[in-house]
Every structure is written in C-alpha cells, then in structure tokens.
Structure 1
Amino acid sequence: MKPSSKKLLILMLILAMAALAGCGKNNSSNQAEGKVNVVTSFYPLYYFAKEIGGDHAHVVNLVATGVEPHDWTPKSRDLEAASKAQLFLYHGAGLEGWVDHFLNGLGSDSQVLAIEASKGITLIQGNHEHALEEEHGHEAEGEHGHKAEDQPAEEEGGAHEEEGHSHSDLDVDPHTWTSPRSALIMAANIRDAYVKADPEHQADYEKSFASLEERLKELDSKFTQQLSGYERRDIVVSHQAFGYLCRDYNLNQIAIMGLSPEAEPRAQDLLGIANFVKEHQIPYIFFEELVSPQLADTLAREARVDTLVLNPLEGLTSEQEKAGDDYFTLMERNLENLQKALQ
C-alpha cells in the first residue's frame, strides 16, 4: 500500500471511530455560544421552547425520541447539561417525580433558571382511576363491585413528594398539555422565562409567542366547534391522559389504565369497561403509540370494536420525527380521530 493511501485509510478510520463515539453520547451536554441554552424535560416543552426562542435559543430535550417519559429517569449527564444551561423547563404538577432531587443536584454554583411550565393552570385534583364508576354510578358499581370512594385517599401533597418516575398514585392529573387552552398558559410561562433570562431580545420573544398563541387559539377554536355537535360524549382511552382535553371540550374519558400508562387494571375493571362499550355502542377504543397497545387491543376484541390512536403528545416516535410531525399536526390528528369516535 502506498504511504498516501495508508494515511487516507487511517484518517477514515479515525473519523469513523469519532462518529461512532458521538452516537453513544447524549447531545444534551452541548452548549451554544451566544444563545440562551435551554434544557426541557419532555416534548411539548421542547417544541414550545423552540418556537418561542427562535434563533436566540439552543434547546435540547432530556427524553429521547421514542421514549415514554413516564418510564424515564435522568442520568448524571442530564444533570450536568441542565446545570450549564440558562433555562431548565419542567412541567411540574407531579409529572416529573424526579425533579426535586434533580434541582437539588444542580449545585449552588449553577446559574440555571428553573421554570415550572404548568404554573397558573387550574389542575384537576384527584386520581380518578375509576372514571366509569364516577360518571355512570349504579351501572358501573354493579359491573365493578366497588365505588371510587372506596379507594384509599392519597396523603395531601403527594404530587410534590413523589420521588420515583411514575405518577400512578398521585392526587393531581399532570397531563395539562393535551388541551390547547392549558398549552397557552404553558407557552406564556416559557415566554416569560426567556424574557427574564434574556431581556435584550424581549421583543423577539414576544413576537414569536404571539404567533404561537394565535395558532393555539385557532386550534382551541377548532376543537370547540368541531366537537360540540355530537350527542355522544364518552371516549374510552388506554391511558388516563386526557382529563384537561375532556374538561375543556365537554367530553368524558373512560380509562383502561390510570394516570401512569404502566398501571395495571384489574380484571373486573376491564370487564366493566367492555360491558360499557357494548351497552353504549362505543365504536372505538383509543390507544397510544409510545406504550404497548396490548390491553386496548384485547379490550377491543372483547367488545368487538376497532381501535384508533389518541396521542397524549408526551413524545414523538422516530417515524413521526422523520415525517416532520409536531404538536399541531398530532393534535389535528387527534381531533380527526375524536370526531370518528363520537359519531
């Protein structure tokens, strides 16, 4: 082999090894000079932060594409990335059970501004694991054999004291972002965070927020108008993630699983929901893409109905990311599927 060819081969090997090494690293540790470095805890915050921050911000999301945030816990590299950022945006309301320890671990020398994006939203209190019973009283009691109030109550303040990553036993529903009306408040909190961290570019942040606000208001209007004309108001979902959407658009969710998608329902609960679906001629059972659809599929077969996707927007799949999907395209798809289910 000629010396020049040997040098070229060595150079190619070095570049290949560097590329492979980079694939194994979390890019959240990267910082951008001259920009507001922002770390977000899950997808909706990441999307809103990018839209509002524009060219002035470098935004990274802790939870990787295709990972269900309920199953995720931070690593030391995530703590390091957040400690070097100017903004750390987390949802709050009990979604990130790890956040208190995470914030305590940032260190006294960290200058990061930690913002709870759900602040100001009227939260849904109570872990309504048995929405079927609460909404349909005597018929649900007969099918399930118990009432929701028979369940042990959570201690006050549990939403903020939970240390794990599951919130199946919390006393607050954290899934605020599934409603455009709550998303508006979250976006406003993110705008305020940018202005506080980088007041020099306040006008740009205000302008970007105004554009996002207009789109969210249009989305809210579409949900209001297009869901209002149906007599059917019940939807059966795999994961109790749509309380805010149902509250704002006068729907009732009947959930197979609780606030955390890994919560296992009891056999009598599944039977009760299957009977309810048959009796009320519910045409579809909704499932989501980041968790296994096995229970929804099983229940749909038992009730002899079809399944549809209702996306809780907790993250993108790799296919959605490649296709260029975002919060708005997924919410539009949710609206289409809700209309099918309410017919």
Structure 2
Amino acid sequence: MLKRWAGLLLCLILAASLAACGGNNTAGNPTDTPAATGTPSGSADQTATPAADKIKVSVTFNAMKEFVAAVGQDKVEISTIIPDGTEPHDFEPKAQDLVALSAAKVFVYSGLGMEAWADKAVQAANNPDLVTVEASKGGTPITNTDPGEIEEHGQYDPHIWLSLKGAELEVKNIKDGLVQADPANKDFYEKNCGDFVAQLEKLYNDYNEKFQSVTKKSFVTGHAAFAYLCRDFSLTQNSVEDTFAEGEPSAQKLTELVDYCKQNDVKTIFVEDMVSPAVSQTLAGEVGATVETIYTIESGEDDMTYLDRMTDNLTRIYDSLTK
C-alpha cells in the first residue's frame, strides 16, 4: 500500500509539472459541457459563457459529470478522470489521468469508497484553490455484509447515485461546491439545481406509486449495485455477481439460482453493460426468463442522459415485477 501511494505521489508531481508546461491541458475524457444534461431549456441565464471564464471541474466518472453538467450548464468545463468503458471499481489513476486536478477549480467524487484513491490524489495535487466535493456527504450509507462486496467496495455500498434520493443529495452537494468556487453565479447554480431536483422528485413520485401497487418486490441482477434504489422503493435485489462476473458457475450454484428464480417467479435477469451476459443467458434459459440490460451509469451509455437511463432502469424493473 505504501508503495502504491508513493507511486501515486510521484505521478501527481509529474502531473503538476505537465499542467504547468501545458497550460489548460486536461486528462481522462475532457468534455466542454455547454448545456445541462436532462435540465429544461430556458433555465437560469442563457448568456453564453466564454471558454476562458468557465469553471474547470474534474470529476471521477459519468454520473458525477451528469450532475455537474445539470447544475453548471455552460459555466463549467468538465474533465472526467475515469474513461468511458473502464470499470471504476478497478481503476487506479496514472499521472496523465490526474493532470486536470492541478488546474481544476472544483473536484467532484462520489465517495463511500467508490474512489479509494481520491483523498490521496487531492493531497498530492498541491492545488490550494481546489474545492473538493464528496457528493455523497451527509447521506445514510448502506453497510456491506457480503464478504465479496466488502473486499471489493469496503465497508459501505458506494452506489448511491443509482438512487433518485441519493442523486438529489449529490446534486445539492455539487451545487454547494460550485457556489463556493464561483459565488458570483450562486443564483444560476441554485436555479439549475432546483430544476434538476424537481425532475428527480417527479420521477421518484411516478415510480413510487407504481412500485407500491405491485405484489412482487424482488428482481435479479448481476452486479450488486441497486441497494439504494431498492431502499427508495422498498424493493429487494438478488445479486449473483460472483457467478455472472467470474466464468462459469458450479452446478450447485446454478441450481440454487434456478431454484430462487422459480420460487420468486423471476421472468427477467438483468445484466450490466460491462459484465458478460453468457451466464445470465444460461440462467434465463433454465427458468424461461429474458435477459435485459440495466444501467449503472458509471460510463456514458447509448448517448442517454442520467434521467433517461434511470427512467429506463425503473421501467424495466417495474415491467419485470408485473410479468
């Protein structure tokens, strides 16, 4: 561990040097975001912000980018550290990934152990003006109990952004960070935050009513990422991540999964975009279920916004419970 953080420190020293030589260079997936994602047009100030005046915001992965874009709209320039298509849980930053931190005004990460390297990266960035936002701060975490989940994610389940209530919390914390970095535009950020939260609340209310009306309350998914969503709507996820993500299941494990699906009348097996669907398809064939993709919003997917993907997730889960 000491060697790892020593290496990270050297990487950040190099990153600072690169930033000093390269001016406004950014790393990861730099994205100049002129408009909010999923936010109604006509909100707040419509005057275009010159590129030189945009607030540079470095974020860890796609969901954080979506939330910053919703609040900051054209007043922010966003760089994403973890590239699309990269599994965030396994990501370890290299020097070039962290160059943006040296020049950024705001750094946004989700927290709850999702980005175990974040604190050390901030310390090593040597950027005294950097406003750091732990977007999940103030939330009520779900404690991991499964040994495999504890080994992979730590004490807490980090997937809070997949809860609409969790998203509200993260968006509000991000708004506070942008206001701290750019107080002159406080009203702009407050307005955009309010608009986005209103959309989250409407989506929650629409589906809360639907989920209250169904008898079945459990669904099957590969990655154990939906505990916060389940908490929102009093649902239960049954994760078979150890089977879906790691090769072929044993005969005993497959039998247990088949029995579970039959006992709970499971008609849909959900699989995430970065997990092989092979075992899902085997299980589905055994129980007469279909295999459908569900979004974890860790990478950009299908050119859809956060609200689009959450609506799709909720629709698919609801439909699976009514079959």
What is the TM-score when the length of structure 2 is the normalising length? 0.79
Percent identity of paired positions between Structure 1 and Structure 2: 29
Q: Among 126, 132, 138, which residue is 1:120 paired with?
A: 138
Q: Among 243, 260, 267, which residue is 1:276 paired with?
A: 260
SS of 1:123's equivalent in the other structure is: coil
Q: After the TM superposition, which residues 168-179 of structure 1 pair with which residues of structure 2 at under 5 Å, given as runs?
A: 168=152, 170-179=154-163
The corresponding residue for 1:102 is 121
2:301 maps to 1:338? no
Query: Residues 124-166 of structure 1, C-alpha deviation per residue, up to 9 Å, x if partnerless?
Result: 0123x4xxxxxxxxxxxxxxxxxxxxx6996xxxxxxxxxxxx
Q: Equivalents in 1 of 2:157, 2:236: separation in Å?
A: 15
The corresponding residue for 2:213 is 229
Report the CA distance shift for 1:330/1:29 in structure 2 as closer, same or farther (over 3 A).
closer
What is the TM-score when the length of structure 1 is the normalising length? 0.75
Q: Among 305, 308, 318, which residue is 1:326 paired with?
A: 305
SS of 2:85's equivalent in the other structure is: coil
Q: After the TM superposition, which residues 6-155 of structure 1 pair with which residues of structure 2 at under 5 Å, given as runs?
A: 26=28, 28=30, 32-107=51-126, 109-127=127-145, 129=146
- Alignment-mate amino acid for residue 297 of structure 2: L
The corresponding residue for 1:11 is none
Whether the 8 Å contact between 1:94 and 1:170 is mirrored in structure 2 is yes
Q: After the TM superposition, which residues 189-228 of structure 1 pair with which residues of structure 2 at under 5 Å, given as runs?
A: 189-228=173-212
The corresponding residue for 1:298 is 282
Aligned residues: 278
SS of 1:194's equivalent in the other structure is: helix
SS of 2:140's equivalent in the other structure is: coil
- Alignment-mate amino acid for residue 256 of structure 1: V
SS of 2:266's equivalent in the other structure is: coil
Unaligned runs of 5+ in 1: 1-24, 130-150, 155-166
Query: Residues 235-287 of structure 1, C-alpha deviation per residue, up to 9 Å, x if partnerless?
Result: 011100000011110111000116x9856796344431221102222111111
The corresponding residue for 1:184 is 168
Whether the 8 Å contact between 1:179 and 1:245 is mirrored in structure 2 is yes
Q: Equivalents in 2 of 1:110, 1:241: separation in Å?
A: 35
Report the CA distance shift for 1:262/1:81 in structure 2 as closer, same or farther (over 3 A).
farther
Query: Residues 97-128 of structure 1, C-alpha deviation per residue, up to 9 Å, x if partnerless?
Result: 22233223212x4421111000011000123x
Report the CA distance shift for 1:27/1:341 in structure 2 as closer, same or farther (over 3 A).
closer
Q: Equivalents in 2 of 1:100, 1:221: separation in Å?
A: 36
Report the CA distance shift for 1:261/1:171 in structure 2 as closer, same or farther (over 3 A).
farther
- Alignment-mate amino acid for residue 72 of structure 2: G
SS of 2:222's equivalent in the other structure is: strand
Q: Equivalents in 2 of 1:197, 1:265: separation in Å?
A: 50
SS of 1:239's equivalent in the other structure is: coil
Whether the 8 Å contact between 2:244 and 2:280 is mirrored in structure 1 is no
Moved runs in structure 1, 4+ residues, more than 6 A? 263-266
Query: Residues 51-98 of structure 1, C-alpha deviation per residue, up to 9 Å, x if partnerless?
Result: 101221111212223333223322212221112100010011011122
- Alignment-mate amino acid for residue 251 of structure 1: L
Deviates more, 1:28-37 or 1:82-91: 28-37
Unaligned runs of 5+ in 2: 1-26, 33-49
What displacement does 1:297 show? 1.8
- Alignment-mate amino acid for residue 274 of structure 1: V
Whether the 8 Å contact between 1:92 and 1:117 is mirrored in structure 2 is yes
Q: Equivalents in 2 of 1:99, 1:265: separation in Å?
A: 34
